[in-house]
C-alpha cells in the first residue's frame, strides 16, 4: 500500500537546539498531520495542514513548533528551541480526503 | 472532551480462540464521528485495519470486524479465530468526518499476544 516515510528514524539533540523532522507523504495526498506519542501514553494530535495552511492545532502545538511543506516536498515539523518534554516519538500522516490517514514509522526524538 | 478508552493490555489468547477488544468513545465536539481500528505489527508502522463512518454499520477486514454502536458509544473489535500472525498492537481511534479537520483521537492501544 501507500507509504509515508520519515527521516530520521531517531534524533538525539541537546535541549535548546533546533530540530527538523521530515516526512515524505504519499504523493497525491492533500492533508498532512503530525502526532506525538510519549512512551506509555496515547498518540496525540499536534497539527494538520492543508493547502499550505495549518487547519487546526492542539494545545500541545506550542509556539516553538512550526510546520511547512515548501514546494510540495517534505512536510516538516520544526521545533525551536527544543525542551526536555519534547522527547517523544513523532508520527507523520497523510490523507487524500482527510478521512483515511496513512502513517509513517515515526521519528524518535530524544532531547538531552 | 473527545476521548477513546480501550481494553488495557496485554491480552493473551491461544491460536484459534476468539477475541474481543473493547473500545468506547466520547465525542462531545464531533457531530458525526468516524471510528477506526489501526494496527501496528512488530517492526512496522501504524496501518488502518478497518473503518466505519455510519452509525449502525459494521466494518470488517482480515477476519476482524467491529460495529459502530451509537447507543452504547462502542466500537469493539472482534475475531472468531485468531492466528499467531495477529499478534500486534491495536488502536481504536475517533475521527471527524471527511472534509473537516480529520484529526484522530486514539486510545492507548491494546497489545495482543497470540500463543501457538
Closest to B104 (Cα-Cα) out of B44, B39, B33: B33
Chain A positions in Cβ-Cβ contact with residue B98 (cut-off 8 Å): 97-99
Rounded to whole angstroms, the Cα distance separating B104 from B74 reads 16
Are A97 and B97 inside 8 Å of each other by CB? no
Peptide bond into A55 cis (omega under 30): no
**Residue B98: its pLDDT value, please?**
59
Q: Which of A37, A38, A42 to mutate to test the interface with B (most CBs of B within 10 A)?
A: A42
Instruction: Summarize pLDDT for A51-69 with one digit per residue, the tens.
Output: 899 999 999 999 999 999 9
Rounded to whole angstroms, the Cα distance separating B79 from B65 reads 7
What confidence tier does A71 reach under pLDDT thresholds 50, 70, 90?
confident
Instruction: Summarize pLDDT for A94-109 with one digit per residue, the tens.
Output: 998 877 899 999 999 9
Are B108 and A41 inside 8 Å of each other by CB? yes
**Residue B96: its pLDDT value, please?**
80
Calculate the dihedral angle through the C-alpha atoms of A89, A62, A48, A73, rounding to the nearest 10 degrees.
-70
Cα A92 to Cα A23, A47, A48, B112: the distances in Å are 6, 10, 10, 24
Instruction: Summarize pLDDT for B9-56 with one digit per residue, the tens.
Output: 899 999 999 999 999 999 988 878 999 999 999 888 899 999 999 999
Chain B positions in Cβ-Cβ contact with residue A104 (cut-off 8 Å): 45
Are A98 and B47 inside 8 Å of each other by CB? no
Nearest CA in chain A to B45: A105
Amino acid at each position: 500500500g501507500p507509504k509515508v516515510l520519515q527521516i530520521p528514524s531517531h534524533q538525539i539533540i541537546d535541549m535548546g537546539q533546533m530540530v527538523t523532522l521530515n516526512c515524505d507523504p504519499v504523493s497525491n495526498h492533500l492533508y498532512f498531520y503530525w502526532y506525538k506519542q510519549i512512551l506509555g501514553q496515547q498518540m496525540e494530535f499536534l497539527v494538520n495542514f492543508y493547502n499550505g495552511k495549518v487547519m487546526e492545532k492542539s494545545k500541545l502545538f506550542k509556539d516553538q513548533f512550526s510546520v511547512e511543506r515548501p514546494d510540495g516536498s517534505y512536510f516538516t515539523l520544526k521545533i525551536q528551541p527544543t525542551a526536555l518534554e519534547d522527547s517523544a516519538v513523532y508520527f507523520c500522516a497523510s490523507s487524500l480526503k482527510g478521512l483515511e490517514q496513512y502513517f509513517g514509522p515515526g521519528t524518535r526524538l530524544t532531547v538531552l | 472532551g473527545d476521548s477513546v478508552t480501550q481494553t488495557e493490555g496485554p491480552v493473551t489468547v491461544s491460536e484459534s480462540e476468539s477475541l474481543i477488544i473493547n473500545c468506547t468513545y466520547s465525542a462531545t465536539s464531533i457531530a458525526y464521528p468516524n471510528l477506526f481500528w489501526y494496527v501496528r505489527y512488530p517492526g512496522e508502522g501504524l496501518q488502518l485495519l478497518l473503518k466505519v463512518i455510519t452509525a449502525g454499520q459494521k466494518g470488517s477486514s482480515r477476519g476482524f470486524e467491529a460495529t459502530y454502536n451509537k447507543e452504547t458509544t462502542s466500537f469493539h473489535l472482534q475475531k472468531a479465530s485468531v492466528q499467531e500472525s495477529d499478534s500486534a498492537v491495536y488502536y481504536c481511534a475517533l475521527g471527524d468526518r471527511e472534509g473537516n479537520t480529520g484529526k484522530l483521537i486514539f486510545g492507548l492501544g491494546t497489545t495482543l499476544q497470540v500463543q501457538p
